[in-house]
Structure 1
Amino acid sequence: MEIDSLSGLAAEIVAALTAITDPEIGGNIVELGLIYDVAVDADGTARIVMTTTSRGCPAASFLQQAVQDAVEAVAGVSAAAVELTYEPRWTPDLIRSGVFPIAARH
């Protein structure tokens, strides 16, 4: 997903998701590349596909619920469906360039 090309309600959702910090790494989940897709149906249902930094991430349920809550709080969203996936597997290469120091180390 190209976050910078989103507009309207999808862009507002992405902006809301930047408030969520990954407790393991410390950056926001958008800049870390944990959000794979954001789509909004005509009825206002938001569909988010996300991942965590590892399959056994102890914060997975916390992050999934935080995304659900943040998306449902966006005006215009009628419901939210958050899918957790591990395909493709997250790697530090998914961190948005220039926005988080760990990206420079990999």
Structure 2
Amino acid sequence: MLILKKKIISILENIFDPEIPINIYELGLIYDIRIINKNIIIIIMTLTTPHCPVAESFTKIITKKIFNISYVKKVDVIITFFPNWTYKFMSELARLELGVL
């Protein structure tokens, strides 16, 4: 399961927010990665704003890329706004890149 989680994180680290040049994992948009029976993946994520124009495309991109893992049979991406995203969710690297400390 740890190897699969690392693969998923690697995929998420290659998906970037179109308005902020940081990947969605380092940006802190991913709240949880759940793996069920090694082939069902549930991603719980948020957006920087509820009015994000790419909300639908994010879920499609994430689903499509995770389905590239050969034994994955189902991917659900759930968007939540609880808790609301803030800069505190960003990784230290992301904060340094944006100059937010």
Structure 2 residues without counterparts, runs of 5 or longer: none
**1:68 aligned to 2:63?**
yes
Aligned-pair CA distance for 1:54: 0.4
2:27 is aligned with 1:37: no
TM-score (norm 1): 0.85
Q: Which amino acid aligns with 1:84?
A: I
**1:56 and 2:51 correspond:** yes
What TM-score, normalized to structure 2?
Answer: 0.89
Equivalent of 2:7 in 8, 12, 16: 12
Percent identical among aligned pairs is: 30
In the TM superposition, residue 105 of structure 1 has moved relative to its aligned partner by 2.2
Runs of 4+ with >3 A deviation: none
**Cα shift at 1:26:** 1.7
What count of residue pairs does the alignment treat as equivalent? 100
Aligned residue for 1:23?
18
C-alpha change, 1:43 and 1:10, in structure 2 (3 Å) is closer
